[in-house]
Structure 1
Amino acid sequence: MKRAYILLLSIITVIFAVTGCTYTNEKENLTFSGTVEADEVNVNSEIQGKITSIFAKEGDAVKKGDLLVQLDDTSLKLQEALAKAGVEKARAQLDDVLAGSRDESIKAADAGVKQAQAMLSGAEKNVKYYEDLLAKNEELFKDGAIPEQKITDLKEALESARSQYEKAKAGLDQAIAQRDLLLKGSTSNNIKAARAAYSQAEASLDMAREMVEKSRIFSPLDGTVLYSNFKPGEVVFPGSPIMTILDLKNPWINIYIPEKDLKLVKLHQSLDVRYEDKVVKGEIIFISPQGEFTPRNIQAKEERQNVVYKVKVKLPYSDILKPGMEVDVVLPAGEVK
């Protein structure tokens, strides 16, 4: 009997030697529970304006590039038209200077000065408007009648108005300089000034077109509208979060691995993620290099530990897993190597 036992042990040893397999301590799989999460992306306005139309409501699925909100662009399109006329006028002035037509150039330069003066006057009024509005709202803020964000938005709007004022002032200086040069005759300096004015007019047109484009607010990603914070007729300021979109195509879950089990995980490792009787594959995309005390919201089936490491598991896009669902992530405790 003893000889038979020794023979059986020898056969097992030979089998492991031939196959090259080693057996590690095989335990039950470790299971960690957590909540499916997804990134929330705010859709902000880059300019101040009144909302005329909203094309998506809470719960709607949207695609990247879908038009979500339209701001009132009446004044913006008027500025675009004026800027386009300014380009045509500057082009004509440049052509006249190059052709030596001083009289026509001087008339055009005079018109350019008047236009620049009008723009400066409008910009100055805009600055005064926001200065007064900010002063009134600061008093309301002191009384606790409005949130601090309102003051922040108004300060940003005031800075933008002051920037436009400085640009308008520089435009007037340039227009006056061009006219003065034309009065002295079509010299090389006149040509340089005319070309500079033409370039500035083109830049103003580009800026006006950009402002019109910014009045249309598009979805930055595929997702679902989680929150819609404004209604048609309301005014938004730069940075105002008009909507929040949930990125359902890239869900993830954080699990917390005890230090003693950290050796069982590695980047890009595939893990089973279970929800009820369904199983999908997840991928480890982040392992925290620093331990932390066990978060209070951990729901682990294993014994709670004092120090754990956060592990982020990327989940596949599917109709099975939704943000807020409680799922189990299965980590193999041992394997045959």
Structure 2
Amino acid sequence: MGTAATLPRGVMIVRKVREQPRRLLPLAVVAMALLVWAGYRAWVAHQPYTWAGTVEARDIAVGSRVGGRVKDVLVREGDRVEPGQPLVVLEAGDLPAQRLQAEGQLLQAQAALDKLRGQGHTGGTGSLAEQVARARAELTATQVALEKAELDARRARTLFQQQVTTRAELDTAESSLRQARAERDARRARLQELEQGTDADVRAQQGLVETARGRLEAIDVALGELSIRAPVAARVESLDLRPGDLLAANATAATLVEDEQLYVRIYVPETHLGRLRPGSEVPVRVDSFPERTFTGVVENIASQGEYTPRNLQTPDERASQVFATRIGLREDGRRLLRAGMAAYVSVPK
């Protein structure tokens, strides 16, 4: 204290002036921090909501139901194909020979059916329909003969009672009557047998015709399966076949990606679900084109929420209920973007 008292007055004033900014420095730092925090809060308040998602696409696995050895590969990975365009052609093998056999069997079965129906030229006893007509005519003739025999027998009995004819003549007339009845019964039975067998035989032969026709059509389908074609307009994503490779039946020959079905899948928290509506446009950004914004359209919002979407990894994110939302891409996005890219969708607050 004595030392301070011995200092000149001017020195003491200079010392106080130098110590005053040191006391104000913490206050300035706190004020600066408050200004930065307030600015950050204001900046965050004006930033849009952003949700991360993935570019996805509907893919189609094409192949052949019959399989076989690869004859030609007509496209490459990355090519764009049109509906019905051939992609891969398989060797025919013995299918043409099988078709010839099936066609011959169909012709034979149809000829037999025509014979049963009396539509073709026949030899021998004729078609079944002709036999039925002949049996019906023969039955009519025997019926007429039976009526005459009955009339002769009645006349012979009358004459025998009047003692005009002998017993032998009566026996002859009655024997002729019995023979006419037996002939009538035989003809009737034959006609019934033919009539009952006609429909059954025709139906059975018709079944053979349909079986042969079905086999022929199945072979035609198999021949059509030798050319693997694109069902819709798409881009060839993967195709790893070469001429000579063996492709199993129902195996995937190529994978196609539908360009019109390229979309972004995001998961929107329940609290922000009202900011998106089906049909509204939203900006889409990807890391591959950082300076460019693509146009997306909200196509669908899931009607049921979920808690563990695949693109949310932290416990805090998984604890919130979210709704899967599909964002369709416009022409520019479908042309440049690829399935699997990370995408970001933003909406204003």
Give the TM-score, by structure 1 length: 0.59
The corresponding residue for 2:330 is 316
Of 50-59 and 317-326, the range deviating more from structure 2: 317-326
Q: Cα–Cα, structure 1 residues 249 and 243, in superposed 2: closer, same or farther, change >3 Å?
A: same
Letter in 1 for 2:344: D
Task: In structure 2, give the amino acid aligned to 1:329.
Answer: V
CA contact (8 A) 2:67 2:247 kept: yes
Alpha-carbon deviation of 1:271?
1.4
What does 1:1-337 align with in structure 2 at a 5 Å threshold?
A: 27-99=46-118, 101=122, 187-274=198-285, 275-288=289-302, 289-293=304-308, 295=310, 306-307=319-320, 308-318=322-332, 319-333=335-349
| Residue 102 to residue 282, structure 1, CA distance change in 2 (3 Å) | farther
Cα displacement string for residues 228-262 of structure 1 (whole angstroms, at most 9, x for unaligned residues): 13322222222211111122222111122223212
Q: Secondary structure at the match of 2:298?
A: strand
Q: Distance in 2 between matches of 1:298 and 1:317?
A: 31
> CA contact under 8 A between 1:248 and 1:317: conserved in structure 2?
no
- State the distance in 2 between where 1:91 and 1:279 align: 68
In 2, distance between residues paired with 1:208 and 1:305?
Answer: 55
Offset of residue 328 of structure 1? 2.9
Whether the aligned pair in 2 keeps the contact of 1:97 and 1:191 (CA below 8 Å) is: yes
SS in 2 for 1:87: helix
Choose between structure 1 and 2 for higher RCO, CA contacts under 8 A separated by at least 6 residues: 1
In the alignment, the residues of structure 2 paired with residue 214 and residue 311 of structure 1 have an alpha-carbon distance, to the nearest angstrom, of 38
**DSSP-derived class of the 1:292 partner:** coil
Cα separation, 2, equivalents of 1:280 and 1:268? 16
Greater Cα offset, 275-284 or 84-93: 275-284
Q: Deviations over 1:140-198 (max 9, x none)?
A: xxxxxxxxxxxxxxxxxxxxxxxxxxxxxxxxxxxxxxxxxxxx998333322222222
Q: Post-superposition shift, 1:96?
A: 2.0
The equivalent of 2:168 in structure 1 is none
Which secondary structure does the structure 2 equivalent of 1:220 belong to? coil
- Which structure features the higher share of helix residues? 2
TM-score by length of 2: 0.57
Aligned length in residues: 228
State how far apart, in whole Å, the 2-side matches of 1:281 and 1:328 are.
12
Identity across the alignment (%): 22
The answer to whether the 8 A contact 1:34-1:254 is kept is yes
Unaligned runs of 5+ in 1: 1-25, 107-183
Cα RMSD between the aligned structures?
3.0
Contact 2:53 2:311 in 1 (8 A): no
Pair 1:74–1:239, CA change in 2 (3 A): closer
Shift in Å, 1:210: 1.0
